[in-house]
Amino acid sequence: MMSLPPSSSDAPVASFHGLSRPVQRWIRDKGWTNLRPVQAEAIGAVLGSDTDIIITAATAGGKTEAAFLPLLSDALDRPAEGGGFDLVYVGPLKALITDQALRLEGMLEKTELAVHPWHGDVAKTRKDRALKSPGGVLLITPESLEAIFVLRGREVPGLFAGTRAIVIDELHTFLDSDRGVHLRSLLTRLDIAVGRRVRRVGLSATLGEMELVRSYLNPDAPDTVRMIADAGGGQELQVQLRGYVEPGENGSGPSNEVAITRHLFDRLRGTRNLVFAGSRQNVEGYADRLARMCEREKVPVEFLPHHGSLSRDRRAHVEDTLREGRVPLTAICTSTLELGIDIGDVVCVGQIGAPFSVAALRQRLGRSGRRAGEPAILRMYVDMPKLGPQSNPIDRLRLDLVQAVAMIDLLTEGWCEPPAPGTLNLSTLTHQILSVIAGRGGASAARLYKMLCERGPFRSVDQALFLTLLRDLGRPDTALIEQSSDGLLLLGEAGERIVAHYSFYAVFKTPEEYRLLAAGREIGTMPVTTVLAPGMTLVFAGRRWRIVEIDDIGKVIELAPSKEGRPPRFAGDGGAIHDDVRARMCDVLEGRMKEPMPRYLDAAARDALALARGDYDRLRLRGTGMVGIEEKKTLVAPWAGTIRTTTLSLALRDRGLSVEADGAVLEVPCGLENLRIEHLPTIYECGLALSHETGGMLVFDKFHEYLSPSLLIRDALSSRLDRQALGPMIKALLAERCP
């Protein structure tokens, strides 16, 4: 008999006894002496009610068991009435589904319940078996679920008739993305197909604002969603931020990159670590420098690159070596190692340059210090260009360093970016319109509207907008849909072709790529937009190569080993920084912090921050937000996030002022008085004028190419631009705030 320690309450004991026999036996066989508080609470909540539930706990905190022990127990004790799969698990990664299926198979070994993993790498025979006798647990990706709706629309009601809950793993990855909207749409369509609402259980490690998370799961009754969180917290966080400034013109010494490489080599060798380097190019650059340093010092190479363009083999090797933990290894990586695949515990997390979001920083940090009593260690490195008398005033503000400090500050306060509601997501809506029509062999406009916009996630789309969208999709030159004589909407010629191809199922866009072959083996891929030619050398997968041949039709590049090479550029599409991060950057420059010179800064970072604050004051930016630096050049610092800053720079461009980029501080080619008296008041009066020409430039998402400029503008205004913010921003800039 399992003995449970007399913990703070007898809840765990009650929870244990509420479980079915086979599940109790599994727990006992595992040798568990008690249930974690989250698990005990989840068992009570799942068995004692039918509300939606969100379970949050640290990575490896036992969330999967917390959800599945009671759900499986219920499925064993009360066999489903309607037939079909008893439980559905939706996960964002194929690797995660494979992992979780193995765990569930272990739990269900001595029972009748089957486990059906289902994603692109699962054999067709296995899927056929699941369809022939659906039951037990289906573990699936949103895209594979989409494929079931499109290809087997008529079978959906039967497959899920008896499903008692849908478990969504890594819920945070679905909150604020096209893919998240896609999943919500599929869940609503599933509810409609079975004629009742299927309970949802979300699992997540880190979540921002709870209210928004609740309404993701249940937009009609967010208050009924029960939150179960582990007390956890209280974990010690050790942070160091090291600043690197290139030596002066006559100074000698290593470059910043070499100095940072040296520090990583000295501190991380001999243990397991993750270093997030920001871009694939940077990952390859640091991995190459570290490997050469190991060779020069005649020690084994303990640093390997990991990013999304490397082949599955290369990535698996790094993941397996980390997880097994037999030899020391530091992975230099992009956000690939941020998600839930189990790689074990690492000693420290390195971060080169400020990241794009506090949420990502928090997620990355969760990879270290997972054992009781061990701190989470963050080492941040900021590479700062050399300054001279000719340097741009914006460079003097050291905005990278300031952003890094602002983010660490927000992180320690427990803040992270909340999802942004109210977006239209017209590209994803187009996708779902095509999917519903394909799955049902036709649908009326009224039915589509009710399904997708009234009950589904596209609630910001009103009827008029919906009809405009349908007209766009039905235009002869678009031909995605057409109307039959009795008014039913059917797929058009182009629609048929697009839905029939396997690339339809995902809502996100993927660029075309070359495959890179070395000695006949694929080592990774490169976007076709990268400029490459035979004879060029490059660093890839931590080694140096020469391009032997490029096959433009087969999209294959052959490589041979080389002694030279530079890391190649990959295509990228710019990130969005949140308003609160930029506001905190202003606080950092103006010294409005609990600890104005944080202790976690090293001497070089302190010096750089002190100098940046001095320059900020000398520029007289404090309290004004605008300063003329030349006769026809003004700096504008709205301290707003990417969306609001981009809106302002577009409005300035409407006035004929070409503004570069969308950094925290804008350089406007115009005198201060002219800007203050003429341009800004005019923009305040007239707002942002978006022409059809601008609309043509707003093609970002997968189905945008089929939309007219006016719809593209409306889509952008709901997610990438903020017209309403323009007035208040200008008012703040024009207000005399100086002493």
Stretch that binds DNA, among 196-204, 227-235, 567-575, 722-730 (CB under 7 A): 567-575
CB of 177 to DNA, least distance (A): 7
CB of 508 to DNA, least distance (A): 4
Total residues contacting DNA by CB under 7 A comes to 52
Stretch that binds DNA, among 32-40, 119-127, 447-455, 682-690 (CB under 7 A): 119-127
Q: Mask: binding to DNA, 169-188, rule CB under 7 A, as x and -? A: --------x-x---------
Stretch that binds DNA, among 10-18, 60-68, 296-304, 503-511 (CB under 7 A): 503-511
Chain positions 349 to 388 lying near DNA, rule: CB under 7 A, are 353-354, 356-357, 360
- Nearest to DNA of 354, 730 (CB atom): 354
Q: How far apart are CA 208 and CA 195, in angstroms?
A: 32
Token pair recorded at residue 364: 């990355």
- Nearest to DNA of 70, 305 (CB atom): 305
Q: How far, rounded to the nearest angstrom, does the alpha carbon of residue 344 sit from its chain's CA centroid?
A: 21
Among 36, 63, 116, 119, binds DNA (CB under 7 A): 119
Query: Does residue 508 belong to the site contacting DNA (CB under 7 A)?
Result: yes
- Nearest to DNA of 512, 631 (CB atom): 512
Stretch that binds DNA, among 217-225, 498-506, 691-699, 729-737 (CB under 7 A): 498-506
For the four alpha carbons of 597, 603, 605 and 610, in that order, the dihedral sign comes to positive
Residue with tokens 């009827």: 463
| Pairing status of strand 53-56 against strand 199-204 | parallel
Q: What is the CA radius of gyration of the chain?
A: 28
Query: Does residue 510 belong to the site contacting DNA (CB under 7 A)?
Result: yes
CB of 635 to DNA, least distance (A): 16
- Residue 180: its H or E element: helix 178-194
Contacts of 65 (CB under 8 A, 6+ apart): 39
Query: Does residue 120 belong to the site contacting DNA (CB under 7 A)?
Result: yes
Q: Mask: binding to DNA, 60-99, rule CB under 7 A, as x and -? A: --------------------------------xxxx----
Q: How far apart are CA 154 and CA 152, in angstroms?
A: 5
- Nearest to DNA of 544, 582 (CB atom): 582
Among 31, 554, 574, 656, binds DNA (CB under 7 A): 574
Q: How far apart are CA 504 and CA 507, in angstroms?
A: 7
CB of 576 to DNA, least distance (A): 6
For the four alpha carbons of 243, 247, 253 and 255, in that order, the dihedral sign comes to positive
- Nearest to DNA of 45, 640 (CB atom): 640
Query: Does residue 573 belong to the site contacting DNA (CB under 7 A)?
Result: yes
Q: Mask: binding to DNA, 142-171, rule CB under 7 A, as x and -? A: -xx--x---x--------------------
Q: How far is CA 276 from CA 279, 301, 466, in A?
A: 8, 18, 42
Query: Does residue 503 belong to the site contacting DNA (CB under 7 A)?
Result: yes
Q: How far is CA 54 from CA 202, 206, 320, in A?
A: 5, 11, 30
Among 172, 214, 269, 280, binds DNA (CB under 7 A): 280
Chain positions 398 to 427 lying near DNA, rule: CB under 7 A, are 400, 403
Contacts of 127 (CB under 8 A, 6+ apart): 116, 118
- Nearest to DNA of 19, 139 (CB atom): 139
- Nearest to DNA of 573, 631 (CB atom): 573
Among 106, 248, 325, 572, binds DNA (CB under 7 A): 572
Query: Does residue 244 belong to the site contacting DNA (CB under 7 A)?
Result: no
Among 121, 236, 374, 564, binds DNA (CB under 7 A): 121
- Nearest to DNA of 122, 448 (CB atom): 122
Q: Which amino acid belongs to residue 312?
A: R
CB of 567 to DNA, least distance (A): 10
Token pair recorded at residue 617: 């004051």
Token pair recorded at residue 209: 């604002």
Q: How far is CA 437 from CA 162, 260, 445, 580, in A?
A: 25, 55, 10, 42
Chain positions 325 to 354 lying near DNA, rule: CB under 7 A, are 334-336, 339, 353-354
**HSE of 702 in the Cβ direction (CA atoms, 13 Å)?**
19
Pick from 238, 278, 236, 233: nearest CA to 260:
278
CB of 504 to DNA, least distance (A): 7
Pick from 630, 609, 608: nearest CA to 619:
630
- Nearest to DNA of 508, 684 (CB atom): 508
CB of 94 to DNA, least distance (A): 4
Q: How far apart are CA 535 and CA 519, in angstroms?
A: 16
Stretch that binds DNA, among 82-90, 154-162, 304-312, 688-696 (CB under 7 A): 304-312
- Nearest to DNA of 218, 363 (CB atom): 363
Q: How far, rounded to the nearest angstrom, does the alpha carbon of residue 174 sit from its chain's CA centroid?
A: 8
**HSE of 274 in the Cβ direction (CA atoms, 13 Å)?**
31
Stretch that binds DNA, among 164-172, 288-296, 412-420, 574-582 (CB under 7 A): 574-582
Residue 343: count of CB within 10 angstroms of its CB: 21
Angle between helix 579-590 and 603-618 (nearest 10): 90
Residue 53 burial by Cβ neighbours in a 10 Å radius (0-12, 13-18, 19+) = buried
- Nearest to DNA of 119, 269 (CB atom): 119
| Pairing status of strand 633-636 against strand 666-668 | antiparallel
Q: How far is CA 705 from CA 131, 204, 478, 695, 701, in A?
A: 36, 34, 9, 11, 8
Helix (H, G, I), strand (E, B) or coil at 306: strand
- Nearest to DNA of 218, 330 (CB atom): 330
CB of 336 to DNA, least distance (A): 4
Q: Mask: binding to DNA, 654-693, rule CB under 7 A, as x and -? A: -------xxxx-----------------------------
Among 34, 240, 279, 530, binds DNA (CB under 7 A): 279
Q: How far, rounded to the nearest angstrom, does the alpha carbon of residue 23 sit from its chain's CA centroid?
A: 35
Stretch that binds DNA, among 139-147, 197-205, 214-222, 253-261 (CB under 7 A): 139-147
Pick from 559, 552, 554, 514: nearest CA to 536:
559
Q: How far apart are CA 713 and CA 696, in angstroms?
A: 9
Query: Does residue 576 belong to the site contacting DNA (CB under 7 A)?
Result: yes
- How many residues does this entry show for the chain? 739
Q: How far is CA 645 from CA 89, 575, 664, in A?
A: 40, 13, 8
Chain positions 5 to 24 lying near DNA, rule: CB under 7 A, are none
Residues that bind DNA (CB under 7 A): 92-95, 119-121, 124, 141, 143-144, 147, 151, 177, 179, 278-281, 307-309, 334-336, 339, 353-354, 356-357, 360, 400, 403, 502-506, 508, 510, 570-577, 661-664
